[in-house]
Every structure is written in structure tokens, then in C-alpha cells.
């Protein structure tokens, strides 16, 4: 395929149950070669052949960026999701052959920062594990504030605390421990950058608080992958390909195009990177813009759509693809 | 409103906005010459100017054309006001203020292009996002130009071409701008036909 990042054929080398919701997977190259080095914050798109349905989910790489012997990801089981995480949890075993993409980084460290202030919520810890390894190797200054539901569900919390000591701060929801964000953001030295990865509400809270306290938007970095939402089936005409396709209820528009052998570009498949941006040639109805990429004005104009996460309801939708 | 209209140019050429008071734990304002007017106008529009001034540090210097509105800015009643004869004389104060500053400070600069770019570059060197510094152009269009050959910087360039004040070459002034060194780029205009130098035109008043 000409689109998306280049693929790496891998074998599953290790599957570890981290806690009742999270499993860690280690991938090594089938040909025994070295993986590309990556930068902390990068993700890989894991391709799954789930009994006839192809799933491609992005997961942050959590192994040390300089370790080329393999890649590690952690997958949180989402019982209400479309099935990618359930497939990883229930079917993927040591020795399985899979295909993953080359790393792509949409959440890199800003090398100009004097200090990196990291805020993680739940499974949002994974990109920070790689970033902290990178910063430690470079002698970079950082602080992690990690919010978890409980000690039992706080993946990697005790290991990180043991390794990085007072640079790691843990907050347990079940003990009513909350990050005192205002106190934390007050008094940070000039040149501090904030990184936040976690639930949508947490990202919005951090962004709004930082803005109200005078932090420039460019000093606040966040990442949230969206799972393509389910919805009602709809029909789309792809003008360049001359095809009319139906997008299923649990299928994304991008997946429906791929199933119809239309070569559509993508990278993150989670509404974050902008790679799949497609021109809308005709729209009689309503586009549910679920992405983080288009501006509010662009969304209102309905002249662009991000097929990886957005859906449509109405009479007709014509795309330039 | 910014009082300057710039011809459309290459992407490298900086464009400027209008200073707007933004929420912050402190406010650092660096201005030269006519930039004082932009500061006064921003404060006049500010939702709570008294509160803002109580947390404001103003660093000011006369502009390239000699315009000095120190008295106007001093009269605003900011928590701190310091006037300097030049950016060079103000630079060590700026560096110290940035070193002591915390995130939450708002940084504003108004006046000539070379001065504003040096403020933004100093902020960026301190790890603050370059684009986070609000810039509003006022007054002279005289340029700070780096000779790409000898790397010397000539301040207040008004004509094109001009003689590099360091190596003496005749330089054509480009719109190509370096954020890092806060200067436009000057390139030898008669490299291929030595001596064939067009008459200097006053392009930057």
C-alpha cells in the first residue's frame, strides 16, 4: 500500500498482564533485525485480522526509544469499544505474527523547553514512559504527575516511582487525591512546557487552566487518540474512484474505503494527525466532525472531512477520493 | 490598530499583530520609540488596567528615529519602569528579568522590528515559545541586517543597497529574516559584476 507509514512484520515476543485492565505486548522483527529508533511520544499502528475484519489501532510506544531490539505497547481493554483492544487481550499470544507500522510521532518533546512537566491520566502514561527514558538519557529536566484510579490500577506507577523517585508524583482517585493544578502551574520556571495525555476531560481541564493562568498555547502539548465512534450506517459517493460505498455501523469511513480497495491516506487513524483530510465535493446532510484536526470554521464549512473518525447523516455525501 | 501596512512578501518576512492584554501572573513589556503608543492603547482597552499595571514591568528605549516617549510610559504607573538608551543597554536587564520569570508571565513588545525580534529571540532562548510573544510594529521601518558574508550586523539600515558597516560590501536587503539572530539578510549585490551597484534607494523609513 502506498499510504500510511511503512510496515514492519513482527512476532509477539511477550504478553504480560499488567493489571486486570491492561496487557503489555512486546514485538520483535520476524527477520531478527533491528527496529527503527524512535522519539518519545511516538505511536505505532497495529494491524489486526480479527476474523475477517481488519482493525488498525494506534498505540503509544512505551519502550526506551533507543532500544532497537523490540517495541512495547500497553493496551487497555475497552469492553464497550469496537473490538480492537478486546482482540489484543483475548486473541494475541506469544509467537503470533502481526504487522505494525513504522513509528510516527504526533506528541514529541519540544527540544526548546527548559523543563518538561508531564500530566498523565490512566493509560495515558504510556508515551511518558518512553519520553522519560529519553530525557533521562539526555539529562533533561522533567516532572511526572500521574493520576490513577487506585494503586491496583495504576499501571507502572510503583516502578516509575522507584526508578525516578521524587520526579514522579502519584495521585489515587480512590483516596480522593487530586492534582492541585493551579498550585502546580504557578511558579514553574520560564521555559517549562506542559504535556498532557489522558481522558478528554483531563486534557480540556489542563488546557483551560493553563490558558487562564497565562501559559502560551504553544507551551501546552496534548495527545488523545479517538476511537472511531459507532453510529448509523451511511452511504458515500467517492467521485475520484467512481464508487459508492456504505459505511457500516461499527466501521469507520476510512475502513469502508479500504474495504472497497480505495487507496486512502492515513497515519494515526485517531483524528489527530491530519493525514487523511479529504475534500468534500457535495454534502446534503450533516457531517459529525469527530476529529481534533480541522478548525471550528473548517468544520462549520463542511468542505473537509477526516474519514478516520468522522461520520455523516443525511441525503448524500460526495468526497474527492 | 497597527499603524503599518506591509507589502505581501515571502513567508520568512515577519508579520505583526495588535497588542491585547491577556491574563497572566505578571506582564513584561519591552518597547522602543513609537511602540509606546501601542502600549498606551493596549492598556486603555485592558479590562482591568490598574490590576495589570500593578504586575507590569516596562523596559523602554528610544526608537531608531530618536522618538522618546519615556515620560508617557513612566506616567502609566507600572510596578516597574526602566528606560535605557538602546537595546544593547537594556539587554542585560531583559535577560535578568527573563531568568527570574515564571510561566504565566505575558510578554509584549512594540516598536521597531529589530528590537521586537531581539526580545522574542531572548524569550525563546529562555525556553518561552517565540510565537507566544505578542508583537506590534510601530514607528520606523529601519532594518537590522546581517551581512551573510562577514556575519556583521548593521543596525538602522534605511537604504537598499547599503554598505555593510563591518566589511564594506554593497548589500542587497532581502525580506529573508532570521528569528535566531533577529535580523534581515543582506547579500552582496555586485558579486558577479564587481562595481555594478545600483543607486541606493531609501526603502525603509
pLDDT at A67: 96
For residues A315 and A281, the answer to whether their CB atoms sit within 8 Å is no
Q: Tell if the CB–CB gap between A190 and B106 is shorter than 8 Å.
A: no
Categorize the per-residue pLDDT at B7 as very low, low, confident or very high, splitting at 50, 70 and 90: confident
Tell me how many domains chain B contains.
2
pLDDT at A111: 93
pLDDT at B2: 53
Residue where a domain stops, chosen among B137, B160, B188: B137
Categorize the per-residue pLDDT at A3 as very low, low, confident or very high, splitting at 50, 70 and 90: low
pLDDT at A225: 76
Task: For residue B198, tell me if it sits in a domain.
Answer: yes
**Whole-angstrom distance, CA of residue A283 vs CA of residue A66:** 47
pLDDT at A5: 76
Task: For residue B119, tell me if it sits in a domain.
Answer: yes
Q: What is the DSSP letter of B133?
A: S
> CB under 8 Å to A43, separation ≥6 — which residues?
A58, A59, A60, A61, A103, A104, A105, A106, A107, A127, A225, A268
**Whole-angstrom distance, CA of residue B56 vs CA of residue B80:** 7
Whether A123 and A87 map to the same domain: the answer is: no
Burial zone of A195 (CB within 10 Å; 0-12 exposed, 13-18 middle, 19+ buried): buried
**Whole-angstrom distance, CA of residue B134 vs CA of residue B117:** 11
Q: Please give the helix or strand (H or E) that residue B87 lies within, else none.
A: helix B87-100
Residue where a domain stops, chosen among A52, A79, A105: A105
Categorize the per-residue pLDDT at A53 as very low, low, confident or very high, splitting at 50, 70 and 90: confident
**Whole-angstrom distance, CA of residue A74 vs CA of residue B135:** 44
> CB under 8 Å to B41, separation ≥6 — which residues?
B19
* Crossing angle between the packed helical segments A126-138 and A157-164, to the nearest 10 degrees: 10
Q: Which domain holds residue A27?
A: 7-105
The number of angstroms, rounded, from the C-alpha of A95 to the middle of its chain's C-alpha atoms is: 25
In this predicted model, what pLDDT tens digit does every residue of B168-195 receive, in sequence order?
Answer: 999 999 999 999 999 999 999 999 999 9
The number of angstroms, rounded, from the C-alpha of A155 to the middle of its chain's C-alpha atoms is: 17
Whether B53 and B117 map to the same domain: the answer is: yes
Residue A1 has pLDDT above 80, yes or no: no
Whether B97 and B73 map to the same domain: the answer is: yes
Whether A212 and A146 map to the same domain: the answer is: yes
Categorize the per-residue pLDDT at B3 as very low, low, confident or very high, splitting at 50, 70 and 90: low
Question: Which residues from A are below 8 Å from B132, CB to CB?
Answer: 216-219
DSSP secondary structure letters along A229-272: PP---EEEEETTTTEEEEE-TTS-HHHHHHHTT-----SSSSSS
Q: Which domain holds residue B176?
A: 143-202
In this predicted model, what pLDDT tens digit does every residue of A86-113 receive, in sequence order?
Answer: 999 999 999 999 999 999 999 999 999 9
**Whole-angstrom distance, CA of residue B121 vs CA of residue B179:** 7
Whether B52 and B91 map to the same domain: the answer is: yes
Cis peptide before B161 (omega within 30 of 0): yes
Q: Which sign, positive or negative, has the C-alpha torsion A74, A80, A81, A82?
A: positive
**Whole-angstrom distance, CA of residue B117 vs CA of residue A58:** 40
Whether B98 and B183 map to the same domain: the answer is: no
> Which residue matches cell numbers 510601530?
B138
Residue A247 has pLDDT above 60, yes or no: yes
Asked if the C-beta of B23 comes within 8 angstroms of chain A's C-beta atoms, the answer is yes
The whole-model pTM stands at 0.89
Residue where a domain stops, chosen among A223, A251, A279: A223
In this predicted model, what pLDDT tens digit does every residue of A139-168 receive, in sequence order?
Answer: 999 999 999 999 999 999 999 999 999 999
- For residue A187, the chain B residue with the least C-alpha distance is B102
Asked if the C-beta of B11 comes within 8 angstroms of chain A's C-beta atoms, the answer is no
Weakest-pLDDT range from A15-29, A110-124, A164-178, A226-240? A226-240
Task: For residue B15, tell me if it sits in a domain.
Answer: no
Q: Counting every residue, how long is chain B?
A: 205
Interface test with B, best of A181, A193, A215 (most B CBs within 10 A): A215
Residue where a domain stops, chosen among A105, A138, A166: A105
Question: Which residues from B are below 8 Å from A219, CB to CB?
Answer: 103, 128-129, 132
Task: Spell out which chain A residues touch chain B, with contact meaning CB-CB distance below 8 angstroms.
Answer: 112-115, 185-193, 211-219
pLDDT at B43: 97
Task: For residue A2, tell me if it sits in a domain.
Answer: no
Task: For residue B10, tell me if it sits in a domain.
Answer: no
The residue among A50 and B100 whose pLDDT is bigger is B100
Question: Which residues from B are below 8 Å from A189, CB to CB?
Answer: 101-103
A47: number of CA atoms within 13 Å, CB side?
18
How many CB atoms lie under 10 A from the CB of residue B190? 15
pLDDT at A2: 45
Whether B95 and B68 map to the same domain: the answer is: yes
Query: Average of pLDDT values for B26-39?
Result: 97
Please identify among residues 87-106 of chain B the ones whose CB lies closer than 8 Å to any CB of chain A. 98-99, 101-106
In this predicted model, what pLDDT tens digit does every residue of B116-145 receive, in sequence order?
Answer: 999 999 999 999 999 999 999 999 999 999
Whether B183 and B110 map to the same domain: the answer is: no
Which CATH number covers residue B129? 3.40.50.80
Closest-CA residue to B179 (of A48, A112, A298, A14) = A112
ipTM of the complex: 0.90
DSSP secondary structure letters along A55-85: EEEEEE--S-TT-TT-EEEEEE--TTSSSHH
In this predicted model, what pLDDT tens digit does every residue of A252-291 receive, in sequence order?
Answer: 999 999 999 999 999 888 888 899 999 999 999 999 999 9
Amino acid at each position: 500500500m502506498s499510504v500510511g507509514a511503512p510496515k514492519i512484520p513482527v512476532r509477539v515476543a511477550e504478553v504480560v498482564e499488567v493489571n486486570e485492565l491492561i496487557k503489555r505486548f512486546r514485538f520483535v522483527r520476524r527477520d531478527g533485525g533491528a527496529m527503527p529508533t524512535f522519539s518519545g511520544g511516538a505511536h505505532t499502528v497495529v494491524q489486526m485480522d480479527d476474523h475477517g475484519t481488519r482493525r488498525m489501532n494506534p498505540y503509544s510506544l512505551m519502550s526506551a526509544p533507543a532500544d532497537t531490539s523490540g517495541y512495547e505497547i500497553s493496551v487497555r481493554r475497552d469492553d464497550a469499544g469496537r473490538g480492537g483492544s478486546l482482540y489484543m487481550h483475548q486473541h494475541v499470544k506469544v509467537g503470533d505474527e502481526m504487522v505494525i507500522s513504522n513509528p510516527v510521532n504526533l506528541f514529541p518533546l519540544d527540544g526548546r523547553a527548559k523543563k518538561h512537566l508531564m500530566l498523565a491520566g490512566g493509560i495515558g502514561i504510556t508515551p511518558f514512559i518512553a519520553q522519560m527514558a529519553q530525557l533521562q538519557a539526555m539529562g533533561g529536566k522533567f516532572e511526572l504527575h500521574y493520576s490513577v484510579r487506585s494503586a491496583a490500577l495504576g499501571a507502572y506507577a510503583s516502578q516509575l516511582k522507584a526508578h525516578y523517585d521524587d520526579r514522579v508524583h502519584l495521585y489515587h482517585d480512590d483516596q480522593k487525591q487530586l492534582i492541585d493544578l493551579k498550585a502546580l502551574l504557578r511558579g514553574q520556571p520560564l521555559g517549562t512546557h506542559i504535556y498532557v495525555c489522558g481522558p478528554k476531560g483531563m486534557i480540556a481541564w489542563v488546557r483551560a487552566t493553563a490558558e487562564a493562568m497565562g501559559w502560551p498555547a504553544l507551551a501546552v502539548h496534548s495527545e488523545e487518540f479517538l476511537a472511531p465512534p459507532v453510529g448509523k450506517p451511511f452511504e458515500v459517493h467517492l467521485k475520484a474512484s467512481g464508487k459508492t460505498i456504505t459505511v457500516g455501523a461499527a466501521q469507520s469511513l476510512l475502513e469502508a474505503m479500504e474495504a472497497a480497495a480505495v487507496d486512502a491516506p492515513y497515519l494515526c487513524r485517531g483524528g489527530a494527525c491530519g493525514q487523511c483530510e479529504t475534500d468534500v465535493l457535495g454534502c446534503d446532510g450533516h457531517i459529525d466532525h469527530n476529529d481534533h484536526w480541522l478548525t471550528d470554521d473548517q468544520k462549520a464549512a463542511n468542505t473537509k472531512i477526516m474519514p478516520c473518525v468522522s461520520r455523516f447523516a443525511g441525503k448524500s455525501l460526495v468526497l474527492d477520493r | 490598530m497597527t499603524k503599518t501596512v506591509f507589502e505581501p512578501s515571502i513567508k520568512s518576512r515577519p508579520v505583526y499583530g495588535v497588542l491585547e492584554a491577556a491574563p497572566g501572573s505578571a506582564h513584561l513589556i519591552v518597547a522602543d520609540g513609537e511602540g509606546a503608543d501601542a502600549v498606551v492603547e493596549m492598556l486603555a482597552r485592558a479590562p482591568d488596567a490598574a490590576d495589570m499595571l500593578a504586575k507590569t514591568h516596562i523596559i523602554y528605549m528610544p526608537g531608531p528615529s530618536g522618538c522618546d516617549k519615556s515620560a508617557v510610559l513612566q506616567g502609566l504607573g507600572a510596578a516597574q519602569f526602566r528606560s535605557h538608551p538602546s537595546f544593547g543597554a537594556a539587554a542585560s536587564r531583559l535577560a535578568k528579568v527573563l531568568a527570574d520569570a515564571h510561566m504565566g508571565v505575558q510578554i509584549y513588545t512594540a516598536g521597531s522590528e529589530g528590537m521586537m525580534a531581539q526580545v522574542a529571540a531572548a524569550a525563546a532562548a529562555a525556553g518561552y515559545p517565540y510565537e507566544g510573544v505578542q508583537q506590534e510594529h510601530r514607528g520606523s521601518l529601519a532594518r537590522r541586517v546581517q551581512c551573510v558574508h562577514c556575519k556583521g550586523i548593521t543596525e538602522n539600515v534605511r537604504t537598499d543597497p547599503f554598505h555593510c558597516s563591518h566589511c564594506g560590501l554593497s548589500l542587497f536587503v532581502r525580506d529573508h529574516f532570521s528569528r535566531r539572530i533577529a535580523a534581515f539578510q543582506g547579500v552582496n549585490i555586485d558579486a558577479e559584476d564587481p562595481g555594478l551597484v545600483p543607486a541606493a534607494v531609501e526603502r525603509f523609513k
